[in-house]
Every structure is written in structure tokens, then in C-alpha cells.
Amino acid sequence: DSGVTQTPKHLITATGQRVTLRCSPRSGDLSVYWYQQSLDQGLQFLIQYYNGEERAKGNILERFSAQQFPDLHSELNLSSLELGDSALYFCASTHGVFGISSQQQFFGPGTRLTVL
Amino acid sequence: AQKVTQAQTEISVVEKEDVTLDCVYETRDTTYYLFWYKQPPSGELVFLIRRNSFDEQNEISGRYSWNFQKSTSSFNFTITASQVVDSAVYFCALSEPMEYGNKLVFGAGTILRVKS
């Protein structure tokens, strides 16, 4: 158990809908990363938050957004869903953003999103 | 840009055989970190090893061993006396520094099937 929790575990929805994925980082970890694992693109970085602020963006669609709340949990919002958004979405956390503490990312169990 | 190549898409072995999973990476950084993750059929990402660029010593952990060679930019993973429980997708990853933190750049993964 990594200490990172993600809910829900599975999510099935229809095209055009909006969903929210939730992530709680390990206790004390300030940085949260979101990754998407799809058949087409493999595992790729989406976005990073550190202590409530967005710090980096990867290959994240404009229909997707995220935020990190004062209690450090993070939510990934996916809107106007398309079939191609079906994927496994992982959240990872680290304590710091510099040095060795930033190198070990602890992954949650993932949320499997199916868009029908 | 950083890149990780896992040329073996799928490998099938019979139990007790040794198997090596290849990983080749590209980076311009002199300091970097390499990782291996295991993704069993249940879907979670299981951390196996982290290695920094200054430590070229090979590492052994039980039936697992890793061979890091900077000269060939490779970080190969060997499972000795494979078992059915080793069946999974294995990902090699490279840590890419960002302004705040590090993102992981993953290879495409190698599917390992161990047959009894």
C-alpha cells in the first residue's frame, strides 16, 4: 500500500459527460502528479500541483482540468468526455519538489474510466 | 527531450526460465534517475527499483537484478527462475526534471507472460 488513495476505483459514463476523479496523497506529501494510461498513448504525465498551485502541465487536453485543495487532496475534472478518454488515471505524490525527496513518486491504485 | 525505449513488446517464457527485459533511455542531463515498475493484471503500479545516474553498480534483490550501463544508456532488468506470479507489464521510466519537481517518462512497457 503506497499510502495514496484514489476514488472511485471504476467509473463508467457516457460520451459528453463530466466526471471528477479524486486523489489523496500520502500524509505529508505536498506534490501531486496525474498520469493517464491509455492504449494509444501509454503512460503519460498530465499535470502537477505543489502545495495548492499548478506547477507543470504535460499532455493534458483543454477539456481536462485539475486542482489541489488546502487539505492537499487533488481532483482531476474531465469534461465533454469522448470514447478516447477511456483510460486508467493514476495519481502520484512526493514530499518535495527538489532533491531526492522529489524523486520517489508513490502511485495510487488508479481510477479506471470507461466512456461508452 | 527525454525518451525511454522498451523494444520488447511481449515476452513469453516457461516457469523457471531466466528472462531479461531491455530498457534504453535518452537524456541530456548528467544527473538523472531510472526506475522500473511492475503492473500486474490488477492494474496498480508497483515500484521495483530507483537508480541514480552516478551509481552504476548492479543491484540484486532476490530473483530480480538490474544492469545499469551508462555507456550504452541501458538499464536492463533480469528475473531469475521466473514464476507465474511474475506475469505482468513492466515499465522502465526516466525522471525528467521540471521547474518544480520531476515527471516520469515511461517506456511503452513489456508484457511478460510466464507459463507453468
| pLDDT tens string A70-102 | 999 999 999 999 999 999 999 999 988 888 778
Looking at residue B79, what is its pLDDT? Answer: 98
Select from B47, B49, B102 the residue whose CB has the most chain A CBs within 10 Å, as the one to mutate to test that interface.
B102
Select from A103, A113, A114 the residue whose CB has the most chain B CBs within 10 Å, as the one to mutate to test that interface.
A103
Stretch A10-16: mean pLDDT, rounded?
98
Q: Is the Cβ–Cβ distance between A89 and A113 less than 8 Å?
A: yes
**Residue B97 C-alpha from the chain's centroid:** 19
Interface contact A55-B101, CB threshold 8 A = yes
| pLDDT tens string A36-76 | 999 989 999 999 999 999 999 998 999 999 999 999 999 99
Q: Is the Cβ–Cβ distance between A37 and A90 less than 8 Å?
A: yes
Strand partners, A6: A23
